[in-house]
Structure 1
Amino acid sequence: MDNITTLFNHTNATPIRSQKDIGYGCCFCKKFYLKPAELKEHTRQTHQSEIPNVMRDKSLNDYHVKLDITNLQCNECKIKIDNLDDMMRHLKEHNLDIHLDINNHIMPFNFEGDELRCTICKAEFNKFKKLAEHMNKHYRNRVCDVCGAGFINERSFQIHFQVHKKGVFTCKFCEKVFDTMGKKKSHESSVHIHSQMLSKCGYCNKKFKTHRNKEKHISSEHGVRLKEIKCKLCGKVYLTANALRVHTRRDHLKERPFECQLCDYTSYGSRCLKNHMLKHTGVRDFQCDVCLKSYARKKTLREHMRIHEDDRRFKCEHCGLAFIQNCSLKGHLRSKHRDLVSSV
Structure 2
Amino acid sequence: MDIARGPRKNEKRMKPGKEGNLQTKQHLFSFFLSIGTRRKTNILEKTVRKRKGVITLISKTTPSLRVVIKKKLEVDKHLENIREILLNSNATPIRSKGGVGYACCFCSKQFPEPADLKTHTIETHDERTKSNFMKGITLDDFIVKLDITNLKCKLCDTHLDNITDFLDHLKIEHEKRTSVNSHIIPFKFDSDVLRCSMCSKQFNNFKVLTEHMNVHFRNHVCEVCGAGFVNKRTLRTHGYRHRTGIFSCSTCSKIFDTKVKRREHERAVHVHMHRRNKCGYCGERFTDYTKKNEHEVKLHGAKPVILSCNACEKIFDNQRSLTVHSKNYHLMERRNK
Q: CA deviation at 1:226?
A: 2.2
8 A Cα contact 2:164 2:181, kept in partner: no
* Residues 248 and 256 in structure 2, CA contact (< 8 A), matched pair in contact too: yes
Give the Cα separation in 2 of the matches to 1:199 and 1:227.
15
Q: SS at 1:162's partner residue? A: helix
2:224 corresponds in structure 1 to 146
State the alpha-carbon separation in 2 of the partners of residues 194 and 231 from structure 1.
28
**Superimposed CA distance per residue, residues 166-218 of structure 1 (whole angstroms, 9 cap, x where no aligned partner):** 12233455554332233344555666676263322222333333322322222
Does the alignment pair 1:79 with 2:145?
no
Corresponding residue for 2:130? 51
TM-score, normalised with respect to structure 1: 0.66
Equivalent AA in structure 1 for residue 89 of structure 2: T
Q: Which residue of 2 aligns with 1:61?
A: 140
Distance 1:115 1:63 in 2: 28
- Paired with 2:182 and 2:253, the residues of 1 have a C-alpha distance of 45
**How far, CA to CA, are the matches of 2:288 and 2:298 in structure 1?**
16
Count of residue pairs the alignment pairs up: 257
Residue segments in structure 2 that go unaligned for 5+ positions in a row: 1-78
Aligned residue for 2:178?
98
Alignment partners' CA distance in 2, 1:39 and 1:88: 23
Looking at structure 2, the residues matched to 247 and 240 of structure 1 have their Cα atoms a distance apart, in angstroms, of 11
The one-letter amino acid paired with 2:212 is: H
What TM-score, normalized by structure 2, do the two folds share? 0.68
Please give the secondary structure, in 2, of the residue aligned with 1:28: coil
State the partner residue of 2:235: 157
How big is the shift at 1:111? 1.2
Amino acid at match of 2:245: G
Measured at CA, do residues 246 and 180 of structure 1 come closer, stay the same or move farther in structure 2, by a change above 3 Å?
closer
TM-aligned CA distance change 1:189 to 1:26, over 3 Å:
same
Q: Which has the larger radius of gyration?
A: 1
CA RMSD of aligned residues (A): 2.7
Alpha carbons of structure 1 residues 103 and 70: separation in structure 2 relative to 1, 3 Å: closer
Whether the 8 Å CA contact 2:290–2:318 is kept in 1: the answer is no
Q: Which residue of 2 aligns with 1:324?
A: none
Question: Which residue matches 1:278?
Answer: none
Task: Give the conservation status (yes or no) of the 8 Å contact 2:93–2:105.
Answer: yes
Letter in 1 for 2:169: H
Q: 1:121 to 1:227 in 2, by over 3 A?
A: farther
1:92-241 → structure 2 map (5 Å cutoff): 92-94=171-173, 95-99=175-179, 102=180, 104-172=182-250, 175-187=253-265, 195=273, 197-230=275-308, 235-239=313-317
Taking every aligned residue pair, what percent have the same amino acid on both sides?
A: 43
CA apart distance, 1:240: 5.4
Q: Does 1:269 align with 2:334?
A: yes
Q: Distance in 2 between matches of 1:238 and 1:201?
A: 20
